[in-house]
A and B are shown apart, each in its own frame.
Chain A
Amino acid sequence: MSTFRHTQALADGPIGQPVDRIDGRLKVTGRATYAYEQDEMGPAAYGYILGATIATGRIDDIDTRQAERAPGVLYVMTYRNAPPQPAFGPPLTPTPAEVFTRARPVLATDRIRYYDEPVALVVALTFEAARSAASLIRVRYTAERGDHDLFSRLSEAYTPTRTNAGLQTDSAVGDFDTGFEAAPVKLDVTYYTPYQSHNPMEPHASIASWAGNDLTLYTSAQTLANFRGGLANTLGIPRERIRVVSPYVGGGFGAKLIIHPDAVLAAFAARVLQRPVKVALTRQQMYANAGHRAAMQHQVRLGADSTGKLLAIGYDVWSATSRFEEFCEQTAVFARSLYAAPSRLTRHRLVPVDLNRGEWMRSPGEAPGMLAFESAMDELAERLNQDPIDVRVLNEPEIDPERGVPFATRSLVACMRTGAERFGWNNRNPAPGRVREGRRLIGMGMAAAIRPNYLGASRAQVSMSPTGRVLVRLDMTDIGTGTYTILTQVAAQSLGVPMSSVQVQLGDSRFPQTAGSGGSWGAASAGSAVEDACQRLKQQLIQVAGVPYSDGQAQFAGGRIIASGRSERLTDLMMRAAPTGLQAEGSVGPMGDSYKNYSQHSNGAHFVEVSVDMDTGEIRMRRMLSVIAAGRILNPKTARSQILGGMTWGIGAALMEQTLLDTRHGHFINHDLAEYLIPVNGDIADMDVVFLEEADEKANVLGIKGLGELGVCGAGAAVANAVYNATGIRVREFPLSIDKLLPALAARDW
């Protein structure tokens, strides 16, 4: 696997260099301390959560006496003795932002809203004692009938007032019905995508420790401010009393943007017991208690003229949503900016189910949406008897087709062309089911990728010690993406010092607040804040340096300040002029006029070759290439890893990933990693990533655009399209498992 890149590193600077992860050695030697392993607060007691065995109803009786008497047990908490909490509010918060910090009471009432909802917390001296005692709790329920199926209940769908991120529920341009009706070539297809679960390697875990009225929560979080806000609202204490610590995070994927029962219960139990308490969700508990992606039905209607020009684009999505807390994944939103067409319609509808809330799961919206939509585009290309790339190029918009504003940058066509050339797309036989190797059918597929580029308000603090050491602090998190590394690169580049002089500290809410890790905005937001702080620090350095540095255009390079043909080592300058050190704070965002006046996205194109066993239907990846245009690439090594991860998510979504809901019980039945399948190394084969670097000054000061989630967008559709090209079989229900492919394979005489 080799990475070809067009990255142009800035002269003499670390930005653009494939720098190894700064935290890599700590992680592979087991010295990076994750939430459950923190011990600076002293010995912690262990909490174990007992979950409900009904999905809807009430607790009639809960008998904890035996558990309380069990060896090592310190405390058993149920709704009867849990500290008072605010009631869970309405399904939709007044503003989109409040969803991240709303009160999330746990063990607050006798009401059961979803299967495996916590009904008790047992705290004991050991994990084993707590778990064993939990099995002694007897709960009697009155179960009520719940609703769990989506597809049989579409008639109950309602129109939400907004989608996730506050986006418009529906959009319409022109008259879709008329445009579609008049189109000489029509495609009207329905796709299905299943429930999915995030499954970060590190489960949700928290240790709570109180000092008087001050709470420190060691946890696994993507966004510390959300945890502070959510805990403050749930516990009923000021957020200033809460410190959240999360230096290393073993994956988040959107499942750690908000607080979950581990954090709330650890905080309550630690307060009651006056000692630190740690609580982790088990892998099984994560499926019901830590978010999921909802099942969806997608109807894609495409109308084109005989040359392939799209005349009408219609995309309707029906999604399951929790009855008590609405989550409308913005599944159709990307289609508003992807292809040109005069008549357009996108709509989101929700069907309430008695499940826990859905959450933001890697590439919310695009991940399921592009799986369906970009498969449909492949179907349209075939119906038009055109190459899938040609159809997309033909419908490339000049400006954002619904907002009517220009794109800040858009390299979709370049990504497709580059990918086609490098992948050998010309060798693809457009007629499906024609390429054979023994009992295997070989096929190639492609799909486009698009994802909005975001920026979140963030601050950062940069200080320089008298010895020239740079300390960068912000409450940003590194969820495995490489944040420590890229922020070190940004600060070193900006200040003209070696990376070894820079230390980046993250994951502590005592540091300046950032937008955290989510929505692929971490690098842009935190990076811009660090850059701004460095600029301000340099202003201070220039001021204290005096003439001639304060007169003209001072530069910083090689650990020196340079101006008017003179230079001075920063260490000398600090000793001379700032012997107590200097400190500056910088900030960025929120999204301003450049987001209003420009359509901001990153783009890409995925190419896949698969084989399909014509007897068994086993699909195997052979090759995959993704060409990515996402602004400036700070670190092609960590960026490449992000894209590889996204591509792997796409493969998983296309071929195997699904959380199976037993609708009789409202229970996710395949709730462990033996039954919930994600790709293993053997499923991946040969993968490559190419970056087409863009200079995007509309995005932010460094030209960084969202990257991580882009790798997922459309990746699964490229796999599905390759399967179609191999077999001539179009399965419209994901994942494309053997059972779905086999009937059509068996019906053919190969």
Chain B
Amino acid sequence: MQSFSYERAVEPAAAVSAVVAQPQARFISGGTNLLDLMKLGIETPTHLIDVSRLPLAWIEETSDGGLRIGAQVRNSDLAADSRVRNRYPLLAQALLAGASGQIRNKASTAGNLLQRTRCPYFYDPTMACNKRSPGAGCGALHGHNRTNAVLGVSEACIAAHPSDMAVAMTALGARVETIGPSGQTGFIELDELYRLPGDTPHIETQLAHGEMIVAVELPAAPPGRQFYRKVRDRSSYAFALVSVAVAVDVRDGQVRDARIALGGVAPKPWRAKAAEQALIGQPPDAEAFERAAEAALAGAQGHGGNDFKIPLAKRTLRQVLTTAAQQRA
């Protein structure tokens, strides 16, 4: 770990200015990811701005019937919020499927969104990784890549985004509210927040240096039922091999609305719009679910160890859609 200086921000605009002023400065909130990375020498900020005590820990109603979630709401608190549990059950389920109780108590909403992608070669500074050192090569491509991504990847990087919460929020069509480097308020669709690795896997989001997420806005809850299903190697404290977030509205023998996002399979929470389109207007039957699953994984490419994620994701999605339809009927 490199030496660094530390200051505690008292209000959002000042926090942004403080980071803007130093190219190697970083925001820190719960620290559940950044501190690990600093100990390993993977992140080497020279200055930390602690935003964990900023007055951004509220959850409020929006005029269009949605929720505005402050960036500093802890994952545990968000999962326990009655509005979230009643109106966005898939978000509550996703939060509770993530990490451990201790980590959820520390982790913030914005920090969860901005955690780094996961890959054993990224987490080992002695191994080649384009994300850590652009141009160094990718150790995972021909190495142990069982947990890596199959969608949206490049030859430069096949790391998967580890968040459960972000998958649920992506399915719900969330957008983030930011304060930009010069103090202006901005909005980014969550689906647009993340960049695919391409040949610059070290740049993971669209945020400018110093741009800070202050809130996440959820639109009004989609109609129908919601499910978050996480498949992993053990029952707790494990990253998703595959996860599926689904909100589906079935009425009169027809799928009226569908929102689908996948986790564990891509460098970002993966909205499966083609799968949604394959469902909408169809009867909720095995054939439609099969087509949706195929559409969701269209273009997926395994790298040996993670080949199984493609059928696993399809089968998981089909199971969740089947369950959703059954419960509706």
Chain A residues close to B by CB (< 8 Å)? 51, 53, 116, 128, 131-132, 135, 284, 439, 613, 615-618, 620, 655-656, 660, 662, 664-665, 667, 669-672, 674-675, 677, 679-683, 737-739, 742-743, 746
Contact = CB atoms under 8 A, between A and B. Distances in A.
A614 B121 CA distance: 32
B235 A656 contact: no
Closest 10 CB pairs of A and B: A682-B235, A739-B308, A615-B319, A682-B236, A53-B126, A615-B315, A680-B236, A660-B144, A669-B120, A616-B231
Contacts of B238: 677
Contacts of A675: 120, 123, 147
A616 B147 CA distance: 15
Interface in B140-160: 142-144, 146-147
Given A616-B319, A662-B143, A669 B311 contact: no
B123 A615 contact: no
B35 interface: no
B234 A616 contact: no
A739 B41 CA distance: 32
Nearest to A131: B1
B200 to A, nearest CB: 24
A655 B235 CA distance: 11
A595 to B, nearest CB: 40
B316 interface: yes
Interface string B201-239: 000000000000000000000000000000111111111
B287 interface: no
B120 A667 contact: no
B121 A669 contact: yes
Nearest to A438: B323
A453 B318 CA distance: 52
A667 B231 CA distance: 28
B315 A746 contact: yes
10 contacts: A53-B126, A132-B1, A132-B3, A662-B144, A682-B236, A683-B235, A738-B241, A738-B308, A739-B146, A742-B315
Interface in B120-179: 120-121, 123-124, 126-127, 139, 142-144, 146-147
* Residue in B1, B124, B241, B315 with the greatest tally of chain A CB atoms within 10 Å: B124
Given A656-B234, A664-B143, A672-B123, A135 B319 contact: no
B1 A742 contact: no
A680 B3 CA distance: 35
Given A616-B316, A742-B308, 14 more contacts: A128-B3, A615-B319, A616-B242, A616-B315, A618-B231, A656-B233, A662-B143, A669-B124, A670-B144, A674-B239, A675-B120, A680-B234, A680-B236, A743-B308
A681 B316 contact: no
A667 B319 contact: no
A746 B1 contact: no
Interface string B278-322: 000000000000000000000000000100100110011011000
B5 interface: no
Contacts of A662: 127, 139, 143-144
Given A665-B127, A746-B315, A677 B234 contact: yes
B2 interface: yes
A729 to B, nearest CB: 14
B127 A738 contact: no
Nearest to B140: A669
Contacts of A665: 127
A746 B234 contact: no
A284 B127 CA distance: 14
A682 B120 contact: no
B233 A680 contact: no
B235 A680 contact: yes
Contacts of B39: 131
Contacts of A746: 311, 315
* Residue in A128, A674, A680 with the greatest tally of chain B CB atoms within 10 Å: A674
Contacts of B139: 662
Nearest to A741: B308
A616 B312 contact: yes
B144 A738 contact: no
A681 B126 contact: no
* Residue in A677, A683, A738 with the greatest tally of chain B CB atoms within 10 Å: A738
Given A439-B319, A615-B316, A742-B308, A128 B143 contact: no
A662 B241 CA distance: 20
Interface in B1-43: 1-3, 39, 41
A670 B235 contact: no
A680 B311 CA distance: 26
Interface in B36-60: 39, 41
A583 to B, nearest CB: 48
Contacts of A671: 124
Nearest to B41: A135
* Residue in B126, B231, B236 with the greatest tally of chain A CB atoms within 10 Å: B126
A359 B140 CA distance: 28
A168 to B, nearest CB: 36
Contacts of B233: 655-656, 677, 737-738
Nearest to A52: B126
A672 B124 CA distance: 10
A498 B238 CA distance: 47
Contacts of A656: 233-234
Contact of A128 (B1, B242, B308): B1
A669 B312 contact: no
A235 to B, nearest CB: 30
* Residue in A669, A671, A737, A746 with the greatest tally of chain B CB atoms within 10 Å: A669
B127 A669 contact: yes
A617 B241 CA distance: 12
A67 B127 CA distance: 22
B121 to A, nearest CB: 7
Contacts of B1: 128, 131-132
A667 B125 CA distance: 12
A665 B142 CA distance: 12
Contact of B311 (A116, A660, A681, A742): A742
Contacts of A677: 233-234, 238
A368 B236 CA distance: 25
A738 B2 contact: no
A66 to B, nearest CB: 13
Contacts of B127: 662, 665, 667, 669
B249 to A, nearest CB: 23
A441 B232 CA distance: 18
